[in-house]
Amino acid sequence: MSTMHGLAGHRFRRKPLFRGGDTVVGKAEGMLSQYRVLDLTDEHGFLCGKLLGDLGADVIKIEKPGGDPGRRIGPFYHDIPDPEKSLYWWAFNTSKRGITLDIETADGREIFNRLSRTADVIIESFKPGYMEGLGLGYAALSQINPRLVMTSITGFGQTGPYSNYKAPDIVLWALSGNAYITGDDDRPPLAPSFPIAHFFGAMEAAIGILVALYQCGITGEGQQVNVPAQAGLAWATGPEVQGLWDVDKNIVRRSGRLWRRYRPGTDDKVDYVSIPLIYPCKDGAVRFFPFVQIGMLPSVRALTQWVIDEGMANKALKQVEWSEVDWQKIDQKTVDEITESFGKFFMTHTKAELWEGAQKMGIQLYPLFTPGDMLGFEQLTIREYWTEIEHPELGTSVTYPGAFAKMREAPCEVRCRAPLIGEHNEEIYLGELGISREELLLLKQARVI
Amino acid sequence: MANLPFEGVKALDLTEGGVGPYTSSCLAFFGATLIKIESPNRPDSLRSMPPFKNGVLGHSYYFAYPLSSKRLAITLDLNHPKGLELGKRLVAWSDVIIDSYTGGTMEKWGLDYDNLKKIKPDIIMLRTCMHGHSGPLAGHHGQGFILTALSGFDNIVSWPDRPPAGLYGAFTDHVAPLFNVVSLFAALDYRRRTGKGQYIDQSQHESALQWIAPLILDWTINQREPVANGNRCAYAAPHGIYRCQGDDRWCAIAVFPDDEWESFCRVIEKPAMAKEPKFATLLNRKQNEDELDNIVGEWTIKHTPEEVMHLMQAAGVAAGVVSNSKDVAEDPQLIHNHFFHELDHPEMGKCSFYHGPLFELSKTSYELGRPPLLGESNEYVYTKILGLSDEEWVELITEGVI
């Protein structure tokens, strides 16, 4: 018998939309303020709940007693490897409340069932079948709450030949077609050194949830959302890669800093020309977009003039008439000659100088920014992108990226820092679920919460 | 039963390129009626962006790819006084307006949010551009091909001994729409419940930075810049992409806890290696990673990437084929998830590189549509939706308004 059975008669009290007290949550009503989300995800899904939270939803991050494994991911605040100081955790769990709960225990499952009764959305990223195995699958939970939107984020989806395959970032990056087209052609395919692959799954999940919530508003019925991150990520390889295979049976290969432009060749074959897109400069690198269309001519002409003015143009660049350059026809030797001077010119300037000149002259050039460059970027400062988030437990505040979009009627904003381990246990279990303090103490000692 | 929940929602799409059209496609997947407006003098610039199907100018993969949903396509010159007047009538018809102009363009036409609200008080306006609609760069032209640089992605894609290789293509064009769609769908739901509209100003730069937030915090707190490290991971080994049998064939392998390491050693038929002092612990594996990677590579080169993946995954070790575009097209899991859709087009013919929603809903359907021809819905929109007479419609054509 469950130690929780005595609680069955308690009514779950709907939480107040905005709370005072020591938790600073909900500065203003957001578009999703009427929704409650239970977030069971690991690091692959954190972003989904965070976005819904930024839009005002009451997102409750549910962690295992002792804290979520995602708290082990660095970097750490002042390099202190403490589960309360993981900057990865901080970054993607803002705008959430946090409780601890072990749903593998019988009491934990019962509490979860009760939480599900007043929730609109559940997000989970376990192996397919895990929730069903606990009796917490959609079939069971929708009996309790027919409006529930049950969202599952995984590498490959809930069913299919790879559904049980492990999918760390580099594996997804590979199987989605992104690795093959990334990196230098004389080296192995390359993955980003910071994991971004799973964000496609987390974001597609947020989109799926919003469609399901909209439909629920019409029909009163929830549903399941099944999100395979691989599909979202494969979509990002884009039209050139997928179109050239589908139609031309041509495989786009990685070409590093060069942009390989595909074009019709002789005998119906696809040919290509490689144009530098990333150039090293004095203190880093820049991306210059050399595409020649009517609208782009002023940009490439302005850069050419700048290089000429500084006496760094070779003969080929001095003579080039950009309105006659057609990337569909130009030969590689000519490209190499006219871009050679760009490369040499960039090496004589810093990112800041090149950016300043590019803005003045209307050149399509962006420096490869580091976080330091971003914090110094005037546009972001003027738009008040950066937001100071209080960390009362450390007696300080920290500069975070702010809203993912500016909204006027109901704001999108970072509402509070990420929760500490079990920070809202009392608020939610005592204050909202109606569990007594005695039971809370018992559940804590039994490692249920 | 609302299987297409956005049925009845009407949207004007004043965007071009990748980000805006993909955003609006997502509305139409779920039943919204969408009108894409292009200037007769300056159609969507992606229409002329190669590569083209069979080399035919205009049959651009870039244009087609994000436009895989049903939409009405019209031409309309908003710089013409008559055109602007028609535009305002379309505003009154619509629930949602999406634009991808740089700052000042919609304002010039008097189609800024405050004015739109006067025409349609509960309008949802979504604006997407490089740097948002305030600040000194509000009017800045740009594109995803270079925004990856500013967004910090390029710098984290690099070998330690080389300048950054950067991400492929216009990567942020595949990040920005996701944020837009989240914003837009939330706004639709908010409007359904409250009757209130919304103004959404997306800077594609600001959205993209959300993804590297931990790296930004590492700077704001620890003043540390990220260091790219090829395919290595600070807390795993082996972790990389290894050459396999065949021409330019590769497989990713990532080994995390010790039990995976032991399984890995069994798979490569070197079970004793699991306990070798050089490799027995993660710290030792990291210290001897070059040597370890060589051993891994000596084994993978004797196998196809498919063999490596299946053997490893069967043993509980993460591995994945480095799929090229052919592999992606034939990937059994992507096929299982209905990743590719074939659409027929009167000029381009059949292509199979189209996509619908990238998630599956158990009770909601979706529908696709082929990319539009320039102005192909002019007659329907101007005569049926706006109720112009045939004479008025013809007049618009002769005056060059549409």
Q: Are residues B318 and B381 in the same domain?
A: no
Q: What is the DSSP string of A376-423?
A: T-HHHHHTT-EEEEEEGGGTEEEEEE--SSEESSS-----SPPPPTTT
Residue A77 sits in a domain whose CATH number is 3.40.50.10540
pLDDT in tens, B75-108: 999 999 999 999 999 999 999 999 999 889 999 9
Helices and strands (H and E) in chain B: how many? 17, 12
CB contact under 8 A, B240 and A364: no
Amino acid B2: pLDDT: 52
CA-CA-CA-CA torsion sign (B132, B134, B136, B138) = positive
CB contact under 8 A, A247 and B224: no
The Cα–Cα gap between A122 and A263 comes to: 47
CB contact under 8 A, A409 and B197: yes
The Cα–Cα gap between A302 and A298 comes to: 6
Backbone angles phi, psi at A399, to 5 degrees: -85, 120
% of chain B surpassing 90 pLDDT:
93
Domain that holds residue B254: 239-330
Q: Are residues A262 and A358 in the same domain?
A: yes
pLDDT in tens, B236-272: 999 999 999 999 999 999 999 999 999 999 999 999 9
Q: Are residues B266 and B188 in the same domain?
A: no
What number is the average pLDDT over the span B319-337?
98
Backbone angles phi, psi at B40, to 5 degrees: -65, -25
The shortest C-alpha distance from A115 to chain B (Å) reads: 23
What number is the average pLDDT over the span A376-381?
96
Instruction: Flag whether pLDDT at A435 surpasses 70.
Output: yes
What number is the average pLDDT over the span A258-280?
85
B24 touching chain A per CB within 8 A: no
Instruction: Flag whether pLDDT at A22 surpasses 70.
Output: no
Taking 3-state DSSP, the helix, strand and coil percentages for chain A, each rounded to the nearest 5, stand at 40, 15, 45
Confirm whether B316 is domain-assigned: yes
Instruction: Flag whether pLDDT at B229 surpasses 50.
Output: yes
- Listed residues B279, B300, B330: the one ending a domain: B330
Instruction: Flag whether pLDDT at A320 surpasses 60.
Output: yes
Q: Are residues B251 and B198 in the same domain?
A: no
Taking 3-state DSSP, the helix, strand and coil percentages for chain B, each rounded to the nearest 5, stand at 40, 15, 45
Q: Are residues B90 and B143 in the same domain?
A: yes
Amino acid B86: pLDDT: 97
Residue B278 sits in a domain whose CATH number is 3.30.1540.10
* The total number of structural domains that make up chain B: 2
Which entry of B154, B173, B331, B390 is annotated as an active-site residue?
B173
Q: What is the dihedral of CA B320, B323, B328, B334, to 10 degrees?
A: 10
Confirm whether A247 is domain-assigned: no
Choose among B132, B199, B207: nearest Cβ to A383.
B132
Q: Are residues A125 and A217 in the same domain?
A: yes
Q: Are residues A340 and A289 in the same domain?
A: yes
Confirm whether A10 is domain-assigned: yes
Instruction: Flag whether pLDDT at A297 surpasses 70.
Output: yes
Instruction: With residue B125 as reference, give the H or E element that holds it.
Output: strand B124-129
Mean pLDDT of chain B: 96
What number is the average pLDDT over the span A249-268?
86
Least confident of A17-31, A155-169, A202-216: A17-31
Q: Are residues A348 and A417 in the same domain?
A: no
Amino acid B145: pLDDT: 84
Q: What is the dihedral of CA A281, A285, A287, A292, to 10 degrees?
A: 20
Confirm whether B222 is domain-assigned: no
CB contact under 8 A, A193 and B198: no
The shortest C-alpha distance from A85 to chain B (Å) reads: 11
Domain that holds residue A323: 255-374
- Concerning whether B173 is annotated as a catalytic residue, the answer is yes
Interface test with B, best of A125, A186, A247, A259 (most B CBs within 10 A): A247
Nearest chain B residue to A86 by CA distance is B214
% of chain A surpassing 90 pLDDT:
86
B301 touching chain A per CB within 8 A: no
Amino acid A290: pLDDT: 80
- Listed residues A343, A374, A405: the one ending a domain: A374
pLDDT in tens, B167-217: 998 999 999 999 999 999 999 999 999 999 999 999 999 999 999 999 999
A324 touching chain B per CB within 8 A: no
Tell me which chain A residues have a C-beta less than 8 angstroms from the C-beta of B203.
383, 385, 405-406
Residues 327-346 in B contacting A (C-alpha not used; CB under 8 Å):
327-329, 331-334, 336-337, 339-340
CB contact under 8 A, A379 and B149: no
The Cα–Cα gap between A160 and A163 comes to: 5
Amino acid A123: pLDDT: 98
Confirm whether B234 is domain-assigned: no
- Listed residues B275, B301, B330: the one ending a domain: B330
Amino acid B203: pLDDT: 97
* The total number of structural domains that make up chain A: 2
CB contact under 8 A, B211 and A199: yes
